[in-house]
Chains A and B, each alone.
Chain A
Amino acid sequence: MTSAEQQMVEHIVRLIRKPAISIDENTALVSSGLIDSMELVDLLLKLEDITNLRIPAGKVQPKDMDTVVKMFATAQRVGKARKS
């Protein structure tokens, strides 16, 4: 796991507040119902923060956010550098 992925996993653990469930970079989050739509907004903001990219929300589908690995792949695919 990269340090960026590790950072995201730690954020998700804090967000979902379910200590009994272990999360890694390949854990299904959306399809398993672990996170809901408003939390996805929070995760996208965190992803922008970690990658320092602007991620157009309209180009992201639920499947793109299903695992931490997919989130970072999505950021690379649709994210753009911030000018300001």
Chain B
Amino acid sequence: MNQFGNLINALETAPAERPFITYWVDEDEQTTITFGEFRAKARAHADVLRVQGVMAGDRVVVIMPQGILAMTAFVGAMMLGAVPAFLAYPNFKIEPTKYSSGLRGVTANLRARLVVIDEQFPDEILGHIALADDTTLLRIGDVQPRVVAAFQPREIAGGTLAFIQHSAGTTGLQKGVALTHDAVLRQIGYVSEALKIDAERDCVYSWLPLYHDMGLIACFMLPMVCHLHVVMQSPLDWVMYPGSMLEIVSKYRCTLVWQPNFAFQFIPRRTPENRRQGCDLSSLRALINCSEPVRTASMEEFERAFSPSGLRPGGVQSSYAMAENVFAATQSDVYDSSGPRRIWADGREFRSRHRIVPVAECQGALSFTSSGRLLPNHEIRIVSESNVELHDGEVGEILLKSDCLFQGYYNRPDLTADGFVDGWYRTGDLGFLLEGELYVVGRRKDLLIVGGENLYPQDIEEIVAGHPAIHDGRAVALGIYDHSLGTEEIVLVAEVERKELIADREQLERDIRGRVVAGLGVAVKRIFLKPPKWIVKSTAGKPARTASREKLLQEHPELCNET
């Protein structure tokens, strides 16, 4: 992508008649906009923002529903040399108090010149947007491109900020990652080379929100720069009908998809048989699992479910990505028909000596899926707690250095300073390198350390959630420090499928302990069986470990006394 001076130049050179975005509302309604039409609408929006006094370097916050209008407003701001940021639009799935508090924090930190909202933005939330004295709040609707045909984007140096993307989920968006045009173009160049992207052949499908790096970089900026067609839908419509992915990929012959690990289970479990019939996934070159640790079982579940629908062997791929690096740091080999490398390792060696000793598949062995090899100009170090570099197959924190790495968190030098050590970015993820490939095993803050053994809560939770009396996906494993023993003990909270099952508590606890011991060789100290809906969930519907831990300690203060 070295031929482009900035992201807008890349858009300007796209063939005018080529379809850019198809926005899928539902099976009856879709809208397609070509690159030429998109450019014209973005220019029209740029002019609307210019009239409001937006200048180069100004922050422009875009809080609009997923769709073409939000995208043309975002690019319109970039055309002025301003620095846009997408924030999540309020929706029925986000708890209003949590949303408002996150919104207030982020808008205050960005000190935007302009906050752009749509005409339907709920009035009751307006008061939670932090407006500085010189911030304007602007409601915009569709624009007529012919009005501003004469508008020309300004010249933008590649080293200037292109936009800000946020590194967390839908709420508590505190860390704005500031990225330059050059860094984004370099990243897109590396990803497109790794995936051998071809504008004549490739088409992207996305249900990902635009405020997330996968949605913004892989499914908006990459298609814009590489001149690809992208077919997108709202994450809210997807969560209601996850099987719509199959319909869209089949209809538009999509070749590239990115999504987080949980979707690889969510789609097969929520797609009824009648929606699978007639679907054809044979066009998919790469369905890439990234942004969460890659779980072998999730990918296999998806493959089993959709091989009959034409999903080709090796169609499911993996990548290690984060907003701080624009997007990807690694990518698996999309031309390897066996898919990302999967290994089995000795469970005891992994937990007690934090290293990988490959073994054949057997009881007690752990399975890991590779996230692939490093992209060009990327380096990774795996380090111990004391920052000593570890060898191949040794598990430690992943540190990253690259020419795509962010300059810092916007307006947060404190967080930026904490994020780096000796020029390396501390990802907070744990993983290991093996024969040149990276394996990510979990988040450092979630790790349980029991008697010197490293345990990953998701391994325990997966076993427990497999018990028929436990509600699927509603188990949380926690480490509670025991001062008398000088180590953490495993405490488990799980929701029973039906309240009356708690009556059989003793038998149930015995079963669960037995399963965890058989699977991982470790003992659970305390099990708390709770009625349905006890576990606190994130906005994505997944168990929230920290909030569930706080709730447990409040209900059972003896746990604090014991420790």
Contacts and interface: CB of A to CB of B under 8 A. Distances in A.
B503 to A, nearest CB: 15
Given A60-B91, A62-B95, A84 B28 contact: yes
B236 A57 contact: yes
A72 to B, nearest CB: 15
A30 to B, nearest CB: 8
Task: Name A's interface SS.
Answer: helix
Interface stretch (B456-464, B514-522, B533-541): B533-541
Contacts of B28: 54, 82-84
B541 A37 contact: yes
Interface residues of B, number: 29
A56 B66 CA distance: 12
Interface in A23-71: 36-38, 40-41, 44-45, 54, 56-65
A57 B95 contact: no
Of A36, A40, A58, A64, the most chain B CB neighbours within 10 A belong to A58
A17 B92 contact: no
Q: Determine chain B's interface SS by DSSP, over half rule.
A: loop
B3 interface: no
B93 interface: yes
B305 interface: no
Contact of B237 (A37, A56, A63): A56
Interface residues of A, number: 23
Contacts of A61: 90-92, 122
Given A17-B498, A45-B240, A62 B92 contact: yes
Nearest to A57: B236
A54 B66 CA distance: 18
B541 A58 contact: no
A59 B26 CA distance: 14
Contacts, number: 65
A59 B120 contact: yes
Which among A36, A44, A57, A82 has the greatest number of chain B C-beta atoms within 10 A? A57
Nearest to B532: A17
A56 B539 CA distance: 19
Interface string B328-365: 00000000000000000000000000000000000000
Contact of B27 (A17, A45, A62, A84): A84
A36 B92 CA distance: 10
Contacts of A64: 92
A54 B26 contact: yes
B94 interface: yes
Given A17-B499, A57-B240, A36 B91 contact: no
B65 interface: yes
Given A37-B539, A44-B240, A57 B25 contact: no
Given A38-B537, A44-B240, A63-B122, 13 more contacts: A16-B533, A37-B92, A38-B541, A41-B239, A57-B234, A58-B65, A58-B66, A58-B236, A60-B91, A60-B92, A61-B91, A61-B92, A64-B92
21 contacts: A16-B533, A17-B533, A37-B93, A37-B537, A44-B92, A44-B240, A56-B25, A56-B26, A56-B234, A57-B92, A57-B234, A57-B236, A58-B66, A58-B89, A58-B236, A61-B90, A61-B122, A62-B92, A62-B96, A63-B96, A63-B122
Interface of A: 16-17, 36-38, 40-41, 44-45, 54, 56-65, 82-84
9 smallest CB-CB distances across A and B, nearest first, come from A57-B236, A37-B93, A83-B28, A38-B541, A60-B92, A58-B65, A58-B234, A58-B236, A62-B92
